Amino acid sequence: MSEREIRIGDAEREHALGLLGTHLGEGRLTVDEYGDRSARVATAKTRGDLYDLFADLPAPRPRFTELEPLAPAPAQRGFAVDARLGSAAITAVAIISVVLFFVTKFPLVFLLIPLVALVVGRMGRR
C-alpha cells in the first residue's frame, strides 16, 4: 500500500481545513476556491485526496506522521472456549442443578451454575 492510499481521519481533515484557512488569509485562494476545497476536504478519504488539494499551493501543506507497524499479538496460553460451547455447558449445568435439587433437596447445588459460568468465562478470555 502506498502512502497516498492510507486512509485519514477527522483530525487530519480538521488540520487540512486549518491550512486552507491559512492560504485563504494570505490571499492564495479566493473565497469560492476555499469553499470548493473545503467541501472536498470534508469528503476526503485518503492522504492522496488531501495532497491533491494542496498540489498547487506552497507550504504549509498537510504532513502526516509515519505509522508504526503493530506489534505481534502475544502468544496465548491455555485454550479458549467457543462461546456456543460455553453457553451449552452453562445450560447443561443449570438443568443438572435443577434435577439434583429435586433429588437431594439441597439448595446449594444451584451454586454450580455461577461457578461453571466463571470458569467458562475465564477460559473464553484467553
21 or 72: whose pLDDT is higher?
21
Q: To 10 degrees, the CA torsion angle through 42, 48, 53, 54?
A: 130
Look up cell 498537510; give the residue.
62
The structure's pTM equals: 0.53
Look up cell 506552497; give the residue.
58
Per-residue exposure over 65-90, b if at least 16 CB sit within 10 Å of its own CB, e if not: eeeeeeeeeeeeeeeebeeeebeebb
51-69: pLDDT as tens digits? 999 999 999 999 887 766 6
6 or 116: whose pLDDT is higher?
6
Average pLDDT (10-37) is 94
Domain boundaries, the chain: 3-53, 83-124
